Structure 1
Amino acid sequence: MDISIVLIVLLVGALVTYLSGNKFASKIALVSSIAAFGATALALNAYQAGENLDVNLPWITQLNINFALHVDGLSLVMLLLTTGLLPLIILSGFITKFENSKSIYALMLFMGFAMAGTFLASDGFLYYIFWEIALIPIYFIALNWGNGDLEERKKAILKFFIYTFAGSLFMLLAFIYLYTKGGSFDINKLYALQLTTTEKTYIFFAFFLAYAIKIPLIPFHTWQANTYSKAPAVGTMLLSGIMLKMGLYSVLRWQLPLSDEVAKAHIPVIVGLSIAGIIYGAIVTLKQKDIKKFLAYSSLSHVGLIAAGLYSLTIEGFQGAVLQMLSHGIVIVGLFYIVELIYSRYNTYEIKEMGGIRIQDTYFASLFMIIMLASVALPTTFNFIGEFNLLYSLFKVNIWYAVIAGTTIILGAFYMLRMFQKVMLGSQTKTFHKISKQESIVLVIVVGLTIFFGLFPQPIIDLITPSLQSILTQIK
């Protein structure tokens, strides 16, 4: 098989979902997303059997641009994350009655198509097209089905769009410059270019602006909290669970291999900025009264640690970053779904208006507690494996990086436990209707995944390590 089948399933699924009408849209979207995950699982089996899944077809021949997709362990795990989370996100939307549901579910699948393409593209021009296309569906999802006042929502979403689009223009300029040097956008030919240190410096920072905004890193993060809070739950899950991983993945795939010794020269600055984001995100999280903004800033703190590990330029940092991308994506989807379940009963995101849920629904509280403990990297959970590798990689570079970045463990445990106490414990303030079996499916899957891969991470490590070692060799 070739890997384009996954993209075709998602794109056709989006079209069929829209044409199926509002009555059947959610079910068609769910079936389509499961089919895409099934196709990805088949691709994994074929890849492990040694089959070549790459696609390379002529596209814009006069400019030497191809429709080129490449599959290695790194791109495959990111594709698994995308197609694995998409059914959970669509299923989580079943608790909300969307107006014009055919459009939002079609947009979700189309966004999945664009993000999957970003992880697979090995032609710089094609990669940029997928990167930008992913902005379109989330813009309309957040604008048309978001929360709060329409005017405030427009401002938040417009800021997000302008920030990310403006950052991407610097990346486009970098690609155009590289094309003028080699006459091709093919990733391997770009890797082989002989660039001066000055040229590599410009390339490094052009890509950095695009990725720092998308991840986001401070001080490029100001769009994040408002966008997360104004977007509907499914939109926030797409943003936090998958879309921000596009920037982290692209640091590995594009930025670092194209700038090698320049990247090494800027380790102190970038790692320092990432660690500052860890501490800043944790401190601001403590002050949040809105639970969606609370999770947004806690996510900022977590991705700061992932970025620090990436820029450590060690194999442990690369492994930890990829593992943490996967685990963070799974857990953050679970947390935002929990928030939406509470909102569906209390009609508020204010933490002070919650409480006493545990005594009304112990089952829900137990699932919440496990996911919350996973988010603070409790041993035996998936997050612990990635976080340990990340801290170890920083320790190898500079012990103080690891010591300061390690505050994320203490601060993260403090603010998550305090939030859990306020939301779930205490005396009953409002009636909380127990979650149904259908509503618990997403949470059970999230809990199962985070525990399973917390105990058995080796298959993922074995899958990604050859690709990461190849990237590290290219850098060095």
Structure 2
Amino acid sequence: MLTLLLLIVPLIAGLFLLLNKSKSNFTPVVYIGIAVQLAIFVYAFINFKSNPSLLNFDKAWLPDFAIRFHLGLDGLSILMVGLSVVLVSLILLAVKGLKYENMSHLLGLIFLTQAALIGVFSAKDIFLFYFFFELALVPVYLIANFWGGENSSKITFKMLIYTVFGSLFMLVSFIFLYMRGQSSDIDSLRVTVTLLPNAIKQVLFWGLLLAFAIKMPVFPFHTWLPDAYSQSPTPATMLLSGLLSKMGVYGLIRILLPFAPDGINNYGGIVITLAIIGLIYGSIIAIKQSEIKRLIAYSSFAHMGLMAATVLTLSVSGMQGAIFQMVAHGFNAVGLFYIAKLIFEKTGSRNLAQLGGMTQTAPKLSIMFMIVLLGSIGLPLTNGFIGEFLMLKSVFDFNTILGVIAGLSVIFGAVYMLRFFQKTMFGPLSESATEISDIGSKELAILIPIAIVVIVTGVFPNLILNVSGTFVNTLTNLVR
């Protein structure tokens, strides 16, 4: 029941804000929605192991077709739901301090995105999963379209077509499984898959993989990403990079691994190689970027490639690393895009060539930036180090050559992120930064929690690994 409440609260808040015609009385709804969501999640997390029945909700949805509205949380989904609750809360607070027209509608769409994300990460029925998987994109598409930059309509439509096209292959795969198994329950269909002919298993693998590969995205399905990230407004970019991209990795773990293990054994090496190519390609392109948001976009693309590769190694360290990195990258990406927004607001530029010396006029911003940056490049004792170490280990164990190539991303990541920091914070004071003010309490309220997560989860990684451990061990035994 708690899982249903986690879904309903942002749904109600989002619909209220969308229907709200007043320009001034929506603030209490935002704060109440955030507070209630956080309180419910904390209670759910406390009861996660001691009373798991509180986290389960199972009612008939389409009884004539044996399709159920089944929600539940395990070691993987509770981490992803928690990531959604915390990050969306920070995004709502960050957006509320920015200047956008029709603010009530914008905040409402963010709440609706949160509801859809919770649905994706807690669905136990394949059609319920598909419904929320598609629904999550709609409010983000509307945010990017209505509050985006130049050519936003064209760019966001390309993003929509890409992701919907990929999801159609997943829908066809789900329909086929449903017809063969006469059930849409994810756990029940695992048995159905084992009875399928080998040729069908291979087709099923590619059908499911395509949907998740485009959503992340991984090479070569990434062409929609740079323009979408750079032209979308900050709320959409933070949602896309911090949360929606994680739906693809989650789909690999939750759906692809148990539904198509034979396909992974046969073709996993090909996909892992493509993902590593994307990792290196994205890192090199990020080094060459002069526009801040495009740099962060390619950085995010590179990180997603490594996550995808390690999941398909079918190793405990790979899956633990990918799950940990989903959480770590979510916070780091939201922090980086928010900092990029602050830099643009203060200087009027996102071009690295026009920036510099901001540490002289905005020391608090530079300190927060440095902490988030260190997490992003994976410095030991930060959140990025744990995930990257486990993921690179899994790739090395899978194939030494691929492991060496993937390891180059650590160097490349340090190069483009430190270049980002040096060009904006150090060097001669640029003309655009001469009279700017430092960040205040509103901005620190967003960045300090992110900085705390970067450090605390890096020093105490078992806070995450212990939660996901039982799920990962069970899954690896199932797919081997």
TM-score band, normalised by shorter chain: over 0.9
The alignment status of 1:446 with 2:450, answered yes or no, reads yes
**Conservation of the 8 A alpha-carbon contact between 2:293 and 2:337:** yes
**Conservation of the 8 A alpha-carbon contact between 2:170 and 2:207:** yes
**What 5-or-longer segments of structure 1 have no aligned partner?**
none
Q: Secondary structure at the match of 1:59?
A: strand
Q: Partners in 2 of 1:301 and 1:404 — Cα distance?
A: 13
Aligned residue pairs, count: 473
**Conservation of the 8 A alpha-carbon contact between 1:316 and 1:392:** yes
**Conservation of the 8 A alpha-carbon contact between 2:275 and 2:308:** yes
**Conservation of the 8 A alpha-carbon contact between 2:286 and 2:416:** yes
Q: Secondary structure at the match of 2:60?
A: strand
Specify the code of the residue in structure 1 equivalent to 2:13: G
Q: 1:311 maps to what in 2? A: 312
Q: 2:472 maps to what in 1? A: 468
Specify the code of the residue in structure 2 equivalent to 1:91: L
Which segment is superposed worse, 192-201 or 121-130? 192-201
Give per-residue Cα distances to partners, 1:384-442, cap 9 Å, x unaligned. 01110001111211122211100110000011111111111111122221111111111
Q: 2:125 maps to what in 1? A: 123
Q: Secondary structure at the match of 2:2?
A: coil
Give per-residue Cα distances to partners, 1:168-221, cap 9 Å, x unaligned. 000000001101101111101110111121111111100111011000001100
Q: Secondary structure at the match of 1:97?
A: coil
Runs of 4+ in 1 over 4 A off after TM superposition: none
For residue 308 of structure 1, report the CA deviation from its aligned partner: 1.0
> Aligned runs of 1:71-470 on 2, under 5 Å?
71-147=73-149, 149=150, 152-193=151-192, 194-429=195-430, 430=432, 431-470=435-474
For residue 122 of structure 1, report the CA deviation from its aligned partner: 0.7
For residue 157 of structure 1, report the CA deviation from its aligned partner: 0.3
Q: Secondary structure at the match of 2:361?
A: coil
Q: Partners in 1 of 2:2 and 2:183 — Cα distance?
A: 23
Q: Partners in 2 of 1:295 and 1:416 — Cα distance?
A: 9
Q: Partners in 1 of 2:349 and 2:97 — Cα distance?
A: 15
For residue 457 of structure 1, report the CA deviation from its aligned partner: 1.2
For residue 27 of structure 1, report the CA deviation from its aligned partner: 4.5
**Conservation of the 8 A alpha-carbon contact between 1:215 and 1:248:** yes
For residue 350 of structure 1, report the CA deviation from its aligned partner: 1.5
For residue 19 of structure 1, report the CA deviation from its aligned partner: 4.3
Aligned sequence identity (%): 37
Specify the code of the residue in structure 2 equivalent to 1:462: N
For residue 26 of structure 1, report the CA deviation from its aligned partner: 4.4
For residue 347 of structure 1, report the CA deviation from its aligned partner: 1.9
Specify the code of the residue in structure 1 equivalent to 2:253: L
Which segment is superposed worse, 283-292 or 311-320? 283-292
Q: Secondary structure at the match of 2:359?
A: coil
Q: Partners in 2 of 1:178 and 1:24 — Cα distance?
A: 48
Specify the code of the residue in structure 2 equivalent to 1:167: G
Give per-residue Cα distances to partners, 1:227-260, cap 9 Å, x unaligned. 1111110110000000000010010000111111
2:64 to 62, 65, 82: 62
For residue 7 of structure 1, report the CA deviation from its aligned partner: 0.5
Q: Secondary structure at the match of 1:467?
A: helix
**Conservation of the 8 A alpha-carbon contact between 2:202 and 2:262:** no
Q: Partners in 1 of 2:155 and 2:393 — Cα distance?
A: 37
**Conservation of the 8 A alpha-carbon contact between 1:260 and 1:474:** no
Q: Partners in 1 of 2:32 and 2:310 — Cα distance?
A: 37
Specify the code of the residue in structure 2 equivalent to 1:62: D
**Conservation of the 8 A alpha-carbon contact between 2:325 and 2:387:** yes
The alignment status of 1:17 with 2:6, answered yes or no, reads no
Q: 2:8 maps to what in 1? A: 8
Q: Partners in 2 of 1:123 and 1:312 — Cα distance?
A: 26
Give per-residue Cα distances to partners, 1:448-476, cap 9 Å, x unaligned. 11100101111211111111122212212
The alignment status of 1:39 with 2:43, answered yes or no, reads no
**Conservation of the 8 A alpha-carbon contact between 2:332 and 2:375:** yes
Q: Partners in 2 of 1:142 and 1:235 — Cα distance?
A: 6
Structure 2 length-normalised TM: 0.97
**Conservation of the 8 A alpha-carbon contact between 1:317 and 1:389:** yes
Specify the code of the residue in structure 2 equivalent to 1:187: I
For residue 2 of structure 1, report the CA deviation from its aligned partner: 3.3
Q: Secondary structure at the match of 2:289?
A: coil
The verdict on how the C-alpha distance between 1:72 and 1:364 changes in structure 2, with shifts beyond 3 A counting, is same
**Conservation of the 8 A alpha-carbon contact between 2:30 and 2:92:** yes
**Conservation of the 8 A alpha-carbon contact between 1:324 and 1:387:** yes
Give per-residue Cα distances to partners, 1:352-373, cap 9 Å, x unaligned. 1111100112121111111111
Q: Partners in 1 of 2:26 and 2:225 — Cα distance?
A: 29
Give per-residue Cα distances to partners, 1:291-342, cap 9 Å, x unaligned. 0011000111111111111011101000000000000000110000001111
Q: Secondary structure at the match of 2:261?
A: helix
The verdict on how the C-alpha distance between 1:281 and 1:184 changes in structure 2, with shifts beyond 3 A counting, is same
**What 5-or-longer segments of structure 2 have no aligned partner?**
none
Root mean square deviation, CA, Å: 1.2
Which segment is superposed worse, 155-164 or 365-374? 365-374
Q: Partners in 2 of 1:228 and 1:262 — Cα distance?
A: 32
The verdict on how the C-alpha distance between 1:232 and 1:30 changes in structure 2, with shifts beyond 3 A counting, is farther
**Conservation of the 8 A alpha-carbon contact between 1:30 and 1:90:** no
Q: Partners in 2 of 1:331 and 1:299 — Cα distance?
A: 10
Q: Partners in 1 of 2:146 and 2:302 — Cα distance?
A: 29
**Conservation of the 8 A alpha-carbon contact between 1:264 and 1:313:** no
